Amino acid sequence: MIVGMIDFGVGNLHSLAKAIERGGAEVRIETDPHLALAADALVLPGVGAFGPAAAAIEGAAPRIRDALRQGFPCLGICLGMQLLFEGSDESPGAGLGVFPGRVHRLAAKRVPHMGWNGVAAERDPLFRGVEHMLAYYANSYVAQPLEAQDIIATTEYEGHAFAAAVRRVRTWGVQFHPEKSSDAGVTLITNFLREAAR
């Protein structure tokens, strides 16, 4: 399986690519979002700010949105999950709008949210074998889905619960970083690859 990963132009994608390769897939990092869709599955990585990332995919956004709505498998990670929503309070720019809702600043005293947190997951193939995982977070913003059925996992931080993972058709988003979440994170990525191959 070939996974297309979009490079938004910031950050090091090496650890995420290595985690995907550990799951048994080949990774192609593309600066052109159109080329990323030529793979078997798509990963939107979790590095950078919403505005520049939205601008990087703006020209390809309608094509990406249509592909995901038609069942093209996708995993959005941290910022990548946030890009699946309509917009963000972090900065101007339009998200893909695959999930109704917006991204808001985390309502907590200590922001950014950095470090390990428990994840309470629903029954979903993405979390097979890691239903109660500890995951690594590095975020100041969180998505607020308008439709509760899109939420497949939650996390609580300083008394505030938020969506840790979402799913619609074959598009998943996780607010945490599975590539930094030890063996449980690799299991989650492997689950995604298995589902994408179906």
Tokens in use for 144? 């607020």
Among 30, 58, 74, 78, the active-site one is: 78
Catalytic (active site) residue 104: no
Rounded average pLDDT over 152-161:
95
Rounded average pLDDT over 184-197:
97
Tokens in use for 108? 């907590």
Catalytic (active site) residue 34: no
Please name the residues in contact with 24: beta carbons below 8 A apart, sequence gap of 6 or more: 1, 190, 193
Tokens in use for 20? 């995907």
Are 177 and 12 within 8 A, CB to CB? no
Tell me the C-alpha distance between 77 and 62, whole Å.
20
Domains of the chain in sequence order:
2-197 (3.40.50.880)
Tell me the C-alpha distance between 147 and 155, whole Å.
17
Catalytic (active site) residue 179: yes
Reported as a single tens digit per residue, the pLDDT across 77-103 is: 999 999 999 999 999 999 999 999 999
Reported as a single tens digit per residue, the pLDDT across 32-54 is: 999 999 999 999 998 789 999 99
> How buried is residue 108: exposed, middle or buried, by Cβ count under 10 Å (0-12/13-18/19+)?
middle
Among 74, 113, 179, 195, the active-site one is: 179
H helical segments located in the chain: 14-22, 33-36, 50-57, 61-69, 79-82, 182-197
Reported as a single tens digit per residue, the pLDDT across 6-31 is: 998 766 688 999 999 999 999 999 99
Rounded average pLDDT over 106-114:
91
